[in-house]
Structure 1
Amino acid sequence: MSKADSTKPTGPNLIKEYDDLKKILKSSDGREVYSHLIECFNALILHYPDDALDKFEEVSYLLKDEQRAQFAKQFLNFDNKKNFKTMTECQKEYVEKIAVLFPPKPEEGGDPDEAPEAPAAGKVSNFFSDCEILQWAGIGFGEDETYRLQASLTKLSIKSGSEKIRLWGKIYGTEKDYYIAEGFIPGTGEEDEDKPKGLEDRGTGVNDAVYWVTNDSLSEWTMLADASPALLKATRSTKIKFTGDLERDIITNPFFFGQEKHYLRAQIARISHSTSIMPGGLHKLTEDNPKEVEAIEFEEESKAYKPSTETQSALSNWVHAKKSILKNNRVSHLDPEGDEFGDKEPEEIAKIQDARDPPEPRLKPLTKDVSQSGEDSAWTIRLYGDQIATPGLKKQSNHYGVVVVRSTVWPGAMACWKSTKYLQIYIGDGLKNETKTYYPTFPPEIPSDPSDLPEVAEPNPKEAPPQEEEPAPES
């Protein structure tokens, strides 16, 4: 046996020296380095087996005291346990919601005549092909969400009886977001004797379309009420973030007499009438009324004007599609009441009203729009993808580029063009890009003074009150 081997502790001496070493390495708070290393190794083996060396200092720091250790258990997930009951309930709820969008198919081998007929649905835009174009503009919903939205819009079309329906856009909220669908329902809506003054009938003016909203693709759609002039007037002086709660009261200055659902409907009307655009050259002003437009009819189909990607890449070839909202918060002027205009002819009255509140010209080119500062353009345009046309094909379909037109006044409003198809969508916070940024809030309500309490006699006076002598009884 060598001299070095004789000095090594063996048996009980080894255990004793090991215990002494653990006592020496014990910290002032009573914890041992050995136990701390065991905790570190357990965490590294469970959670970072491939990156243990780099994570050692971080794990050791989190486990050194009790407060950080409690945080570390949550941060590092020491328990490594999953609440399968909660997961199962969430999955069950998801399956129940999504099953409504996809009705079961008839059983194989059954009589096809006995299968229930699917209710007729109006024209629903192909959201799948729309998303392929929107991806060039940086807009994407994901394949699963796109599939759910397509099924949800189809279900809404069947339930509402809308002739035509599409996804108008998405408005971001601080708590939840809004998906917004736009549709057209035949008829003028329900007759209401107490309808607001100046309210335009459904299918006309700012109420030419009907809008539904939902917070996600699996929830039910809620129809928004028609927009009134008073509502639009209040909205123009209001600027507040959406929260995603339709029933939330809007507290702002000037006071907004309504809830978030009313504010949302008015903002949709403002955005739609300001940013609805279309390719120029397809419509013209009517001969009888320059405020109305009609599609241009060509005698021969071969001579018909068909826009191409090359022509639509210029901002001058885009025009406004809808009428502008006037200062009276309608699309058209109100019929005169009383003797305001005397015995003047309707044509003269219309000229006077147009002079007081002039409307924007129909089919106005986008190049004539200016931003809020008055210096820059209100629109930007860009051609994505192929910049060169493919020779040998028709002019209308020989280009695989995508033209994207964006609004700088209403950030989030955009129109896209590819080959012979164009579409519009809004993805934003629903607010206008204005130079005005100060919207003061009302001071808190001043409570009324409390009513005075009734005065009572002092229960423990310093001096006893004089007592009245009772009269002596008569003998």
Structure 2
Amino acid sequence: MEGKQSSGSSEQRLQAAAMLKTVMLKQSTRSGLNLYDHLTQLLIKVMDEQPQDVVDVIEDISHDVKRALFEDKQSTLRDLPRTTAAELLAEQQRPLFSRPEDAEQEDELEETPLPNVNEIGFYMEQAGVGLGREEMQRVFLALKQLVESQELLRCRLWGKILGIECNYIVAEAECREREEEEEQISDEAAEEEEREAETQESDENEIDLLPQSTYKPPPVVPKEPIGTGANKFVYYVCKEPGLPWVKLPSVSPAQITVARQIRKFFTGKLDAPVNSYPPFPGNEANYLRAQIARISAGTQVSPQGFFQTGEEEGDEEDEAPRDSYEVNSDFEGVPVAEMAESLSTWVHHVQHILPQGRCTWMNMAVNPEDLNEEGEAEETEEEPDEPEPEVGPPLLTPLSKDEEMFNTPPWTSRMSSTLTPQHAIAVLRSNLWPGAFAYACAKKFENIYVGWGLKYAGEGYSPLVPPQPQREYPSDPEITEALDPSLEEEQVLREALEEQQAAQEELEDTDEEDEDDD
């Protein structure tokens, strides 16, 4: 009996030892090691070093064994961190904060072509709009760099147009005589290319003797010269302060006309095509310039009396709309409370764009060859029916005369603070061009636009509510489905029909006999 018990207990110990070994050989999910190999390495280290008080330092020895396994896999070389987009942009913006050593100290009394953008940002912050203090400071320095590089006479922050991939910071500057000459030279070169193409086509037609179409496209409305109308100012854009400024091309009436018929978000790439219907004549740079002209014509406002139209001798007899203005030196300002309550205290100081796409209407029915030296049409014997001239609101028209669209008032005016009205400013917001704001206080005012560059198009489309489900048709004997008759009922019905038919035939025979007797 004792032999059997001892053999049974030995088998149990072997099984327990096998289970224990299995547990010790199980690898860790974190380090990939197992307890069996670790204890083996630990005992080997103890036998090799034979430290004193092994039981007290066994934990440190175990830690050293684990550390030795990972030291071979680790490298002392570190990968260089990748340059992030924010660090790259900061490196490009660094020149904005550097001042040339040889730069002379500017005279404080000298008039600067750039307004105080920080002051404008302060007032815009009270109005609840703007780009933030840090970005406004960077934009200020970027505008200063633009003024120095392009030698601009006047420059101001027009606003910021948002895009899907990148945004556009827009600067408005006054044109120079050199720009007018460059524009005139480019127009003449384009006309020469068109003439060469026409002569080449005519030569080919003479050789081939192909039938020519009698269709004549309508004349192209010429764009306004630089410094007048929609091209009164020149605009520069950049994606971020510190990046290069790009000058936008002048806008044509065809581009403004098509821009009024389409709605496209900006991508942030000036050379991107504008896929739309009707087709837009140009790329995104031209579309951006057309939208800037539309926004300026509709939202650039100023306090009434700040500007005045220049009156010269003989102007009273001229009925043409005035397109120029000058600062009124006698302007004393309008109270803020009055400007916040009445739209009559605000006026438009940018010309209205006519349906033709120009600020000044041009009669396209007159052949340019028929114009005399003064630009007037010569009288002819047969005068065709001239189109009615397009007339828009004159310059410095009060905002109270603006029309509503989609049952929405065009403007919303308020005070920046009702708690401290003595320090508040008058804030004006455009509802037709969301993102356009203006402020005024004392003799200071400014306009800014921060938005997507799209006009308000009314409320979004909401589908009609589906009609109520139709009710069940009322049940009555006329529409109730009858039960199928049995065989006996069908036989009785057949016999009744046969008797009825026989009686009818007998009646017809008797009628015929009576007619014969007569």
Which TM-score band (shorter chain)? 0.5 to 0.7
Using the TM superposition, give the Cα deviation of residue 323 of structure 1 relative to its aligned residue in structure 2, in angstroms. Answer: 1.2
Aligned counterpart in structure 1 of residue 337 of structure 2, from 310, 335, 339:
310
SS at match of 2:146: helix
The aligned amino acid for 1:147 is Q
Q: Aligned partners of 2:347, 2:81: CA distance in 1, in Å?
A: 57
Who is 1:326 aligned against? 354
Q: Following superposition of structure 1 onto structure 2, how do residues 40-79 of structure 1 map, counting pairs within 5 Å?
A: none
Contact 2:301 2:346 in 1 (8 A): yes
Greater shift after overlay, 246-255 or 144-153?
Answer: 144-153
Pair 1:342–1:162, CA change in 2 (3 A): closer
Who is 1:48 aligned against? none
Pair 1:197–1:362, CA change in 2 (3 A): closer
Given the alignment of the two structures, is residue 210 of structure 1 paired with residue 219 of structure 2, yes or no?
no
Who is 1:371 aligned against? 404
Using the TM superposition, give the Cα deviation of residue 262 of structure 1 relative to its aligned residue in structure 2, in angstroms. Answer: 0.7
Unaligned regions of 5+ residues in structure 2, if any?
1-13, 33-76, 192-219, 462-518
Q: Aligned partners of 1:343, 1:421: CA distance in 2, in Å?
A: 48
Using the TM superposition, give the Cα deviation of residue 306 of structure 1 relative to its aligned residue in structure 2, in angstroms. Answer: 2.1
SS at match of 1:124: coil
Q: Aligned partners of 2:429, 2:84: CA distance in 1, in Å?
A: 44
Who is 1:184 aligned against? 174
Who is 1:5 aligned against? none
Q: Aligned partners of 2:439, 2:259: CA distance in 1, in Å?
A: 28
Q: Aligned partners of 1:19, 1:367: CA distance in 2, in Å?
A: 93
Q: Aligned partners of 2:284, 2:308: CA distance in 1, in Å?
A: 38
Using the TM superposition, give the Cα deviation of residue 419 of structure 1 relative to its aligned residue in structure 2, in angstroms. Answer: 3.6
Q: Aligned partners of 2:149, 2:441: CA distance in 1, in Å?
A: 32
Given the alignment of the two structures, is residue 98 of structure 1 paired with residue 117 of structure 2, yes or no?
no
Using the TM superposition, give the Cα deviation of residue 156 of structure 1 relative to its aligned residue in structure 2, in angstroms. Answer: 0.5
Using the TM superposition, give the Cα deviation of residue 435 of structure 1 relative to its aligned residue in structure 2, in angstroms. Answer: 4.0
Given the alignment of the two structures, is residue 357 of structure 1 paired with residue 390 of structure 2, yes or no?
yes
Aligned counterpart in structure 1 of residue 452 of structure 2, from 429, 435, 459:
429
The aligned amino acid for 1:97 is Q
Contact 2:337 2:415 in 1 (8 A): no
Who is 1:266 aligned against? 290
The aligned amino acid for 2:355 is K
The aligned amino acid for 1:98 is Q
Contact 1:283 1:294 in 2 (8 A): yes
Pair 1:37–1:367, CA change in 2 (3 A): farther
Instruction: Give the structure-1-normalised TM-score.
Output: 0.64
Q: Following superposition of structure 1 onto structure 2, how do residues 101-112 of structure 1 map, counting pairs within 5 Å?
A: 101-106=96-101
The aligned amino acid for 1:275 is T
The aligned amino acid for 2:359 is V
Pair 1:139–1:283, CA change in 2 (3 A): closer
Given the alignment of the two structures, is residue 415 of structure 1 paired with residue 438 of structure 2, yes or no?
yes
Contact 2:130 2:450 in 1 (8 A): no
Using the TM superposition, give the Cα deviation of residue 14 of structure 1 relative to its aligned residue in structure 2, in angstroms. Answer: 11
Q: Aligned partners of 1:83, 1:275: CA distance in 2, in Å?
A: 53
The aligned amino acid for 1:365 is P
Who is 1:445 aligned against? none
Q: Aligned partners of 2:79, 2:134: CA distance in 1, in Å?
A: 25
Q: Aligned partners of 1:243, 1:163: CA distance in 2, in Å?
A: 31
Pair 1:103–1:343, CA change in 2 (3 A): same
Percent identity over the alignment is 28
Q: Following superposition of structure 1 onto structure 2, how do residues 155-194 of structure 1 map, counting pairs within 5 Å?
A: 155-187=145-177, 188-190=180-182, 191-192=184-185, 193=188, 194=190
Who is 2:225 aligned against? 201
Q: Aligned partners of 1:253, 1:88: CA distance in 2, in Å?
A: 40
Greater shift after overlay, 132-141 or 279-288?
Answer: 279-288
Q: Aligned partners of 1:100, 1:379: CA distance in 2, in Å?
A: 41
The aligned amino acid for 1:170 is K
Bigger Rg, which one: 2
Using the TM superposition, give the Cα deviation of residue 252 of structure 1 relative to its aligned residue in structure 2, in angstroms. Answer: 1.1
Pair 1:284–1:387, CA change in 2 (3 A): farther
Contact 1:202 1:209 in 2 (8 A): yes
The aligned amino acid for 2:249 is A
The aligned amino acid for 1:357 is E
Pair 1:149–1:282, CA change in 2 (3 A): closer
SS at match of 2:237: strand
Q: Aligned partners of 2:135, 2:427: CA distance in 1, in Å?
A: 23
The aligned amino acid for 1:333 is W
The aligned amino acid for 2:396 is L
Q: Aligned partners of 1:181, 1:318: CA distance in 2, in Å?
A: 23
SS at match of 2:124: helix
Contact 1:121 1:157 in 2 (8 A): no
SS at match of 1:405: strand
Pair 1:387–1:143, CA change in 2 (3 A): closer
CA displacement, residues 441-472 of structure 1 (integer Å, 9 cap, x when unaligned): xxxxxxxxxxxxxxxxxxxxxxxxxxxxxxxx
The aligned amino acid for 1:204 is T
Using the TM superposition, give the Cα deviation of residue 412 of structure 1 relative to its aligned residue in structure 2, in angstroms. Answer: 0.6
Matched length: 349
Q: Aligned partners of 2:426, 2:295: CA distance in 1, in Å?
A: 21
SS at match of 2:423: coil
The aligned amino acid for 2:427 is V
SS at match of 1:123: coil
Pair 1:19–1:419, CA change in 2 (3 A): farther
Pair 1:122–1:434, CA change in 2 (3 A): same
Who is 2:82 aligned against? 86
Given the alignment of the two structures, is residue 383 of structure 1 paired with residue 415 of structure 2, yes or no?
yes
Pair 1:95–1:235, CA change in 2 (3 A): closer
Q: Aligned partners of 2:246, 2:150: CA distance in 1, in Å?
A: 11
Q: Aligned partners of 1:175, 1:401: CA distance in 2, in Å?
A: 37
Q: Aligned partners of 1:264, 1:273: CA distance in 2, in Å?
A: 14
Using the TM superposition, give the Cα deviation of residue 420 of structure 1 relative to its aligned residue in structure 2, in angstroms. Answer: 3.0
Structure with bigger helix share is: 2
The aligned amino acid for 1:241 is F
Q: Aligned partners of 1:308, 1:19: CA distance in 2, in Å?
A: 93
Q: Aligned partners of 2:24, 2:95: CA distance in 1, in Å?
A: 65
Contact 1:182 1:211 in 2 (8 A): yes
Contact 1:274 1:324 in 2 (8 A): yes
Instruction: Give the structure-2-normalised TM-score.
Output: 0.59
Who is 1:403 aligned against? 426
Pair 1:37–1:211, CA change in 2 (3 A): same
RMSD: 3.8
Contact 1:202 1:226 in 2 (8 A): yes
Q: Aligned partners of 1:172, 1:179: CA distance in 2, in Å?
A: 9
